[in-house]
């Protein structure tokens, strides 16, 4: 008979590999962008030409890089935040603020994901295209996906904050 704790190491391994995949994708995307932009600069300045599809692709890559970066930041609750007051709080008030901000971020992310999915579906139905007459919706599908992942991650941060609040977990700034 297996206990529930035996699956935790497997879960940690899976999460670690997902994080590595995210980081690898970010690195590959950034490297590709730098290479493509450098090639465009070289072709324009050195040979008075360029790749017609490169600029639109670079714009899409910037979108993907920003969204994937936000998704990666959300895994450790590292999104940009204004926490002037939260830094001065300890104990339950701190956890209450974390609970409020995490639940709000999760809800907003789910709403954005839903409406972004509706947008992508409309683009697909309208048969909107990008450069070289490629359909636009596969390039835009990253938007609802990333906000869904961010919403799920902040839902988990909300649960953790709730447990910390209930258990009155000490914060880093609490005296030992």
Alpha helical stretches, state H, the chain: 7-47, 54-74, 84-88, 91-125, 137-140, 142-166
Q: How many domains does the chain have?
A: 1
Question: What is the Cα–Cα distance from 42 to 50, expressed in whole angstroms?
Answer: 8
Residues 121-164 have pLDDT tens digits of 999 999 999 887 899 999 999 999 999 999 999 999 999 999 98
Residue 89's pLDDT band, with cuts at 50, 70 and 90, is: confident
Residue 85's pLDDT band, with cuts at 50, 70 and 90, is: low
Buried b (16+ CB within 10 A) or exposed e, 5-22: eeeeeeeeeeeeeeeeeb
Task: Return the DSSP state at 169.
Answer: P
Is 171 among the domain residues? no
Is 173 among the domain residues? no
Is 152 among the domain residues? yes
Is 79 among the domain residues? yes
Question: Which residue range(s) make up the domain with 141?
Answer: 4-166
CB 168 within 8 A of CB 90: no
Is 172 among the domain residues? no
Residues 126-136 have pLDDT tens digits of 999 988 789 99
């Amino acid at each position: 008979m297996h206990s529930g704790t035996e699956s935790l190491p497997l879960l940690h391994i899976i999460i670690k590999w997902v994080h590595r995949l995210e980081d690898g994708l970010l690195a590959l995307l950034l490297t590709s962008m730098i290479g493509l932009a450098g090639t465009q600069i070289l072709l324009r300045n050195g040979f008075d030409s360029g790749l017609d599809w490169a600029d639109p692709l670079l714009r899409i890559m910037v979108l993907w890089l920003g969204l994937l970066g936000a998704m990666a930041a959300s895994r450790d609750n590292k999104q940009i935040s204004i926490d002037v007051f939260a830094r001065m709080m300890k104990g339950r008030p701190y956890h209450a603020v974390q609970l409020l901000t995490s639940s709000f971020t999760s809800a907003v992310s789910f709403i954005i994901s839903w409406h972004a999915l509706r947008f992508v579906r409309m683009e697909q139905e309208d048969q909107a295209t990008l450069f070289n007459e490629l359909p636009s919706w596969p390039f835009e599908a990253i938007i609802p996906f990333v906000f869904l992942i961010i919403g799920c991650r902040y839902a988990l941060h909300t649960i953790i904050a709730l447990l910390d609040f209930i258990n009155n977990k000490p914060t880093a700034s609490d005296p030992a």
